[in-house]
Chain A
Amino acid sequence: QVQLVQSGAEVTKPGASVKLSCKTSGYTFTYYAITWLRQAPGQGLEWLGWISADKGNTRYAQKVQDRVILTTDASTTTAFLELRSLRSDDTARYFCARITSDCSDDKCYSGARFDSWGQGTLLTVSS
């Protein structure tokens, strides 16, 4: 069965960087893109970006595009999110999810959904 297992909780200081992982299994990694979202305490979901696991092309949300880097490692079927220059308002639970599209050629199918999700990683940014 499809599984996405995310790395454990992180506590870090303002100004630092963090790299979260999302280990996938149960499907052909390069056939699907991966998206990342976050949810601050008591708030709604916020989209951060997606990455094609096939070609590595990415798309980022405007709010974080200067601080976030999405990568994948096909040899370990793992996706990564790196967030730099951390601030207190980056404190949130971060989710990865599989997109039902490979998003190759910088295009995702217009009806693509997020059909499998990781359990989330809690990131706390505090001095």
Chain B
Amino acid sequence: SFELTQPPSVSVSPGQTANIPCSGDQLGNKYVSWYQQRPGQSPVVVIYEDTKRPSGIPDRFSGSNSENTATLTISGTQALDEADYYCQAWDSNNVVLGGGTKVTVL
């Protein structure tokens, strides 16, 4: 079955760039969405269709997807970006989620 794999954690210094990878077999042939979940809150979509940002999401969030890896990039990371991030794709009309990556802003 189709699976998405994320690293459990990523650390980044304030103001630096965080790259969060999400890998899956031929993932570049699918659309990927990314969700941010702060502690105690419901998830929020920050990137959809690989590269698009919903209104209200800061432009420091960007996405890419090619071959077997999609990447969420947070540029100029701020303390409020500290959260869990999940990638999501569709496979034969089933939802597939990555295991999540905890981003720590040190």
Contacts and interface: CB of A to CB of B under 8 A. Distances in A.
Interface of A: 35, 37, 44-47, 50, 59, 61, 95, 97, 100, 103, 106-108, 110-115, 117-120
B42 A47 contact: no
Given A114-B35, A117-B44, A120-B42, A106 B93 contact: yes
B23 to A, nearest CB: 16
A90 B49 CA distance: 31
Nearest to A107: B93
A107 B96 CA distance: 15
Contacts of B90: 108, 110-112
Contacts of A106: 93
B60 to A, nearest CB: 19
Interface of B: 30-31, 33, 35, 37, 42-45, 48-49, 54, 84, 86, 88, 90, 93-100
B93 A108 contact: yes
B45 A115 contact: yes
Chain B binding site: helix, strand, loop or mixed by DSSP? strand
A111 B48 contact: yes
Given A45-B37, A50-B95, A59-B93, 19 more contacts: A37-B97, A44-B98, A45-B35, A45-B100, A47-B95, A47-B96, A59-B94, A100-B48, A107-B93, A110-B31, A111-B31, A111-B49, A113-B45, A113-B48, A113-B49, A113-B88, A114-B45, A115-B45, A119-B42
A44 to B, nearest CB: 4
B9 to A, nearest CB: 13
Contacts of B97: 37, 44-47
B33 A44 contact: no
Contact of B94 (A46, A61, A97): A61
A97 B86 CA distance: 15
A108 B92 CA distance: 9
